[in-house]
Amino acid sequence: MKLSGTHQLLFRADVNVLGGSVNSMSRNTEVLVVACKEIGLEVNADKTKYIHGHVTRSECRTITI
């Protein structure tokens, strides 16, 4: 996309941040925000949703491609 004489790339990604607790999810989110800033991306807080739940190890499944 060309905007005001400069080239810009618009990119959207859905990212799931996981953690064993609300605190670890918060720390992991901060790591994501810092990593994105380092490469020139930003996380849109208005479009961010947090979902907290508990999943037991037996409920998890692994998919191998």
pLDDT tens digits, 9-30: 677 778 888 777 778 888 888 9
Taking alpha carbons only, the member of 50, 40, 54 closest to residue 15 is: 50
pLDDT reading at 3 higher than 70 = no
Domain boundaries, the chain: 2-55
Taking alpha carbons only, the member of 50, 45, 46, 56 closest to residue 17 is: 50
Whether 28 and 21 have beta carbons less than 8 Å apart is answered as no
pLDDT reading at 4 higher than 70 = no
pLDDT tens digits, 34-58: 998 998 888 888 887 777 676 676 7
Whether 22 and 29 have beta carbons less than 8 Å apart is answered as no
Average pLDDT over residues 31-36: 90
Whether 44 and 13 have beta carbons less than 8 Å apart is answered as no
